[in-house]
Structure 1
Amino acid sequence: MQTTLLEAIVKRRGALALASAVTLSLALAGCGSSNGGSAAKADDKGIITVNTVEPQNALIPTSTNETGGGRVLDALFSGLVYYEPKTGEAKNELAESVESSDQVVWTVKLKKDAKFSDGSPIKADNYIKAWNYGANPKNAQLASSFFEVIKGFTAGPTKAGAQAPDVPELSGLKKIDDYTFQITLNQPTSDFALRLGYSAYAPLPDVAFKDMKAFGDNPTVTSGPYTLKDKGWKHKESIELVKNENYSGPRQAKNGGLTFKIYLKSDAAYADVQSGQLDVLDDLPAAAFSTFKSDFPESNANQPVAIFQSFTIPDRIKHFGMDEEGRLRRQAIAYAIDRETICKTIFQDTRVPAKDFTSPSMPNYEKVMKQTKGGEVLKFDKAKAKELWAKADAISKYDDTFTIGYNSDSSHKDWVDAVANQLKNNLGIKAEGEAFPDFKGLRDAITKQTIKGAFRSGWQADYPGMSNFLEPLYSKNGNSNDGKYNNEQFNKLMIDIAKLPVGDEQDMKFAEAQSILFTDLPAIPLWNSNVVGVWNKDNVSNVAFNWKSEPVYYEITKNAK
């Protein structure tokens, strides 16, 4: 494995000035796709039309932990750092510097020329107030656990419907002057600076705190390369963004704005990009996997990215608790799935069978995998699956229907049906998909814990680090721990990992943590995704996809007519 700049910086435990922090271990040579006709004259006022699904919640950085709203927030808001599209390297965006001599106390100096879209300066208070708001469970923030490492954090209730406690502000945040603030953590955290490009750490303007609900529905004062057109969120139809003329950072928009068209069916989006009604699409219907290259011979992409797909089985589901019966059933299901066949027949080799709970694009991936135990459960073995299921039935007979919830406004039906059929054929049980009309409906059922069975899950990396695939999804207080998994040994390992510098000891802890997950299987790993995208080359040029699968929206240019 190559040694990243972040590794060298952390090992010497010196000052951290984020010009470049980490490079994905997967060689992404050529990951930027064909330029789609970059010789065409560009219309810098042109609006780029792209796809999304209806966000689950308001457009507040700490209210989102799903990709429908996340991609919009990334365009609207800036972080202290951003991630270079091709490699995932962390570079300064709103920060002049982020420094620490002990990985506990961090000093942030802001760029003094940075402004919100209304022209007001971005100051230390905009971060301190935003982070205190986001960390407070009274505000029902989905991303609050990203502040857990900061001194003074108080966790919210773990049971659905429980009332959140009154909490003090984060004592670890201290204003030094208008453009400098200090962050004190609960413990040394080697990758803290790397995390700061995630949208949860974005600053908020003063106007947001006058009425946060109204702001989330209409965030027209933003810090990123775009801002929302006034009343530009037309629910279940579109989200219209315009270029932020006051943005002075490195992600300068080369177009006049973005219109996120909200689709209920990916085949409708595919038809629109073919006809020119949509410029760029990164969610193809399964039926198009065998034809997209011929349909778009000069304007397609198929490249590995930091995405992990699974389905989660909450331990509150009868017969699937974290006991002997439940573990036997989870292992049986893992063995019963022929991932390779699904990847070939449904996804046409645009997916790779998962070997663990993270992504091959993470630093030191191979070293961690060599030390991880239990991964054999991801190898298809019908006989082993039936044997384990029979052992579980000897404890308590299973007569229910195993369901996998998914949203039908995206391309998930085919693989869910395929997995359900394999479970029926290989385990001799009743299994089927449970379709929700849209992503928001599925997410609401998951977060309210009203869903009755398993549900599709997975992760698109927030920042390029292995911890990001593990801590949010499986730690007790993880903001995306939708299955409410709680293993004390795993929780402790995540705390220990955060204290360690990049290197052999940290890799060993990652392996230990994944070995625990392979024993408990709170989620069933399926595959790692490629981003598969197409675009209408008559409409747009300079189309590329970033390290975590999304179009690099600010680089896309509209062809002048």
Structure 2
Amino acid sequence: MRTHTGGSRLAAVGAGAALLLTACGDDGAETASAEDGGTLSIYNCEPQNLMPGNNTENCGSRVLEQLFTGLTQIDYETYEAVPAVAESWETEDQTTWTFHLRDDFTFHNGDPVTAQTFVDTFNWVVDPDNAQAGATFHDKFVGYDDVVEGEAQEMEGVRAVDEHTLELELSEPFGQLPVVLTYTSFFPMPEVAFDDMEAFQSSPIGNGRYQMDGEWVHDVEIAMERYEEWPGEDPGAPQRIEWMIYNDVDTAYTDVLAGNLDILGEVPPHRIAGVEDDFGDNWSQHESSRFVYMGFPLYQEEFEDPDLRHAMSMAIDREEIIENIFDGSQTPARSILPPVLPQGRDDACEHCHFDPEAAADLYEDAGGPSELTLYTDSGTGHDEYVEAIGNQWRQNLGIEEIRYESLDFAQYLDLHESEGVTGPYRLGWLLAYPSPQYAMEPLYSAGAPSNYSGYASEEFDELIDQANAADVEEADTIYQEAEDVLLEDLPVIPLWFQDYFIVHSDRVTDVDMDLRSFVRVEDVTVTD
């Protein structure tokens, strides 16, 4: 039997863009002093929403994971799932899981968090009438299809055995479940939320370290205060957190420099070269799980040969592009699993080293096309390095003509979904939770929603199924075997893993970031 128990040590759980400081916080709000934790101000972008089940982007996730605590949480030293609302869990077959809940968690309005709370929340998120973007994360529960495609009102596999015992039955073995449950889509919602969801997301009532202080002031700020009744042993260090919403990240940078903002966790690329001169010791560089790649439309005949894909990968000088465009601030990718994961390997890809002579010979032998169209999304700074890749391919592979198509992101995804892409394309992927399963299965399994290349490999799918069904300690090697299949077939070319830069004011210390690029605000010390 697989079991997990742990003490009550809790850390926040969970799984951006350019934005202008439009206003400051409520002048009438009471400001906390340094003695009781102080007030921390931090840059954020305007969230799409603050609904746990409908959140799919970082701007909302950063806020939600402070307002809510899930069944499990991530230990960001080991990247393992550890207890949160659930103090322990067990399974005999990776299919039926029993979670034993603590009896001292409450929502910020005082209502208790029970097993039925999670049953009600999961079923509400999955109900197609509620159109929650995170519903698909629940698709392994027995009865999911009956609710989504049939007339069932609840998932059969989500059951409250008693007030503090939750049973989750899956349609197939899945050893990664405790890690997946850290994602925002599984955060519990109180009964009052179901009465008026629009009002709820204006001022969410959660069960996390912090509670809302007033309503979300759109395009201005989201303010929260420490919830003193939170039962964990590690309450948030700051007494108050003010998420200041900008529409221009450069303005946020200058505000930190001027001491008007405490933390910016997304230094824009053109500012990176100057951070040391601007901030002295008040900056840091952090690896992340964000994987940037060039994919191939394998439904196009000219890209079917793996040797052609190998050649195009070997013709890219990643270090040169990183140095010239990013001032050396990215980590060249020679794997698909991020090296920040315990399962990641720094140099797993044989065909990801720059070798222009071998690449040219291989490209010619594979009958590579003399004309290419490269695709990317516009307005987010990707065009420059995509053109640099095109120039290297022209120079190193003798390609005669390269055209570029740049579309806004919505149009770009529509083109992928209609298989309208006819050449190599740029995309990226950031882990919602730290598992090799999420780094690979949604992108490369046959028929997966984000498998825009059209890649299909029975060997890869079988290995993913085996790894998913295995105990978490036994799965790592199998996931790496699945990665080896990808690195040989190379449906996408690994480019780099994105590094993030934090700058901060003199008022704060202990500023760190996790692999999702989230500043760990609950650990920041405010010094005055």
Q: Match of 2:4, SS?
A: coil
Corresponding residue of 1:15? 3
Matched, 1:404 2:376: yes
Matched, 1:532 2:523: no
CA contact (8 A) 2:292 2:497 kept: no
Q: Match of 1:48, SS?
A: strand
Residues 105-116 of structure 1 correspond to what in structure 2 (within 5 A)?
A: 105-116=96-107
What does the per-residue CA deviation read over 1:502-555, in whole Å, with 9 as the maximum and x for residues that have no partner? Answer: 566x44532442234335544332112334211111x32332223443211112
Corresponding residue of 2:469? 499
CA contact (8 A) 2:95 2:172 kept: yes
Code of the residue aligned with 1:220 in structure 2: it is: P
Q: Match of 1:116, SS?
A: coil
Corresponding residue of 1:311? 293
Matched, 1:220 2:220: no
Corresponding residue of 2:27? none
User: In the aligned structure 1, how far is the partner of 2:233 from the partner of 2:515?
Assistant: 17
Corresponding residue of 2:172? 187
Corresponding residue of 2:29? none
Matched, 1:325 2:303: yes
Q: How many residues align?
A: 498
The runs of 5 or more residues in structure 2 that have no matched partner are 10-32
Code of the residue aligned with 1:471 in structure 2: it is: E
Distance 1:457 1:49, change over 3 A: farther
Query: How well do the aligned residues superpose, as a CA RMSD in angstroms?
Result: 3.5
Corresponding residue of 1:430? 402
Residues 34-49 of structure 1 correspond to what in structure 2 (within 5 A)?
A: 42=34, 44=36, 46-49=38-41
Given candidates 347, 351, 354, the residue that maps to 1:380 is: 354
Distance 1:478 1:285, change over 3 A: same
State which drifts further: 470-479 or 106-115: 470-479
Tell me the CA shift for residue 248 of structure 1.
2.6
What does the per-residue CA deviation read over 1:251-297, in whole Å, with 9 as the maximum and x for residues that have no partner? Answer: 52222333333444433332221112221112112233333233222
Distance 1:542 1:116, change over 3 A: same
Corresponding residue of 1:143? 134
Given candidates 311, 330, 335, the residue that maps to 2:314 is: 335
Q: TM-score, normalised by structure 1?
A: 0.77
User: In the aligned structure 1, how far is the partner of 2:305 from the partner of 2:8?
Assistant: 42
Matched, 1:259 2:261: no
Corresponding residue of 2:17? none
Q: Which has the higher contact order (CA 8 A, sep 6+)?
A: 1
Corresponding residue of 1:160? none
Q: Match of 1:255, SS?
A: coil
User: In the aligned structure 2, how far is the partner of 1:434 from the partner of 1:263?
Assistant: 25
Given candidates 432, 448, 453, the residue that maps to 1:462 is: 432
Code of the residue aligned with 1:381 in structure 2: it is: D
Q: Match of 2:291, SS?
A: strand
Distance 1:421 1:129, change over 3 A: farther
Tell me the CA shift for residue 229 of structure 1.
4.1
Q: Match of 2:517, SS?
A: coil
Distance 1:83 1:295, change over 3 A: same
CA contact (8 A) 2:172 2:469 kept: yes
CA contact (8 A) 1:327 1:521 kept: no
Q: Match of 1:434, SS?
A: strand
User: In the aligned structure 2, how far is the partner of 1:393 from the partner of 1:347?
Assistant: 33
Residues 25-174 of structure 1 correspond to what in structure 2 (within 5 A)?
A: 42=34, 44=36, 46-55=38-47, 57-137=48-128, 139-154=130-145, 165-166=149-150, 168=152, 169-174=154-159
Distance 1:483 1:139, change over 3 A: farther
Matched, 1:518 2:506: no
Moved beyond 6 Å, runs of 4+: 391-394
Given candidates 403, 414, 419, the residue that maps to 2:389 is: 419
CA contact (8 A) 2:292 2:426 kept: yes
Q: TM-score, normalised by structure 2?
A: 0.81
Tell me the CA shift for residue 300 of structure 1.
1.7
How much identity, in percent, do the aligned residues show?
28
User: In the aligned structure 2, how far is the partner of 1:203 from the partner of 1:180?
Assistant: 15
User: In the aligned structure 1, how far is the partner of 2:64 from the partner of 2:452?
Assistant: 21
CA contact (8 A) 2:383 2:406 kept: no
CA contact (8 A) 2:37 2:525 kept: no
Distance 1:48 1:189, change over 3 A: same
Code of the residue aligned with 2:350 in structure 1: it is: E
